[in-house]
Amino acid sequence: MKKKKHIIIVDDVTTNLKCVGEILRDDYSLSMAKSGEQAISMIEKTQPDLILLDIKMPGMDGFETLECIRNNPANTDIPVIFLTADNDNESELKCLKLGASDFIKKPFEPEIMLSRIERVLLQEEKNKSIRMEALTDPLTGLWNRKYIMEQVNSFTTRENVTGSFIILDLDNFKGINDTYGHVVGDEALIAFAKTLTSFVHKDDIVARIGGDEFAIFLKNSYGKELLSDRIAGLIKDVETALNVIKINENISSVSVGISAFPFDGRSFIELYNNADKALYYVKNNGKNNYHFYDSNEKYSIVDNMHTEVLDLSHLKDVISDKDLDNGPFKVEVSDFKAIYQFLQRYVQRTKGKVQVVLFTIKDLSLSVKTCDLPESMAVLETSIKNSLRKNDVSSRYSESQFVVILMDVDDINRSIVVDRIMENWNKNNRNHNFFLKYDIEEIASK
In this predicted model, what pLDDT tens digit does every residue of 259-318 receive, in sequence order?
A: 999 999 989 989 998 999 999 899 888 889 999 999 888 765 444 334 455 566 656 666
Euclidean distance between CA atoms 143 and 338, whole angstroms: 45
Say what the pLDDT of residue 305 is: 39
pLDDT digits (tens, 9 = 90+) for 3-23: 899 999 999 999 999 999 999
* Active-site residue identified among 212, 264, 276, 439: 212
Scored b (16 or more CB within 10 A) or e, 262-299 reads: eebbebbbbbbbbbbbbbbbbbbeeebbbbbbeeeeeb
125 and 159 share a domain?
no
189 and 277 share a domain?
yes
161 and 272 share a domain?
yes
141 and 285 share a domain?
yes
Euclidean distance between CA atoms 189 and 367, whole angstroms: 15
pLDDT digits (tens, 9 = 90+) for 25-67: 999 999 999 999 999 999 988 889 999 999 999 989 999 999 9
Range 170-174 average pLDDT: 84
**Is the distance from CB of 354 to CB of 408 less than 8 angstroms?**
yes
Say what the pLDDT of residue 332 is: 35
125 and 150 share a domain?
no
Q: Is residue 240 over pLDDT 70?
A: yes
Please report, for the domain that includes residue 78, its CATH number: 3.40.50.2300
19 and 63 share a domain?
yes
141 and 153 share a domain?
yes
Residue 251 DSSP class: G
Residue 372 to residues 336, 398, 437, Cα–Cα distance (Å)? 26, 15, 17
Residue 1 domain flag: no
Say what the pLDDT of residue 303 is: 42
Range 387-416 average pLDDT: 86
Please tell me the total count of domains within the chain.
3
Say what the pLDDT of residue 415 is: 87
212 an active-site residue? yes
Domain carrying residue 414: 300-446
**Is the distance from CB of 149 to CB of 209 less than 8 angstroms?**
no
Q: Is residue 69 over pLDDT 50?
A: yes
Final residue belonging to a domain, choices 297, 313, 339? 297
309 and 390 share a domain?
yes
Final residue belonging to a domain, choices 110, 134, 158? 134
Say what the pLDDT of residue 304 is: 38
pTM above 0.75, yes or no: no
Q: Is residue 445 over pLDDT 80?
A: no
Say what the pLDDT of residue 306 is: 43
Say what the pLDDT of residue 291 is: 96
**Mean confidence (pLDDT) of the chain:** 85
Please report, for the domain that includes residue 212, its CATH number: 3.30.70.270
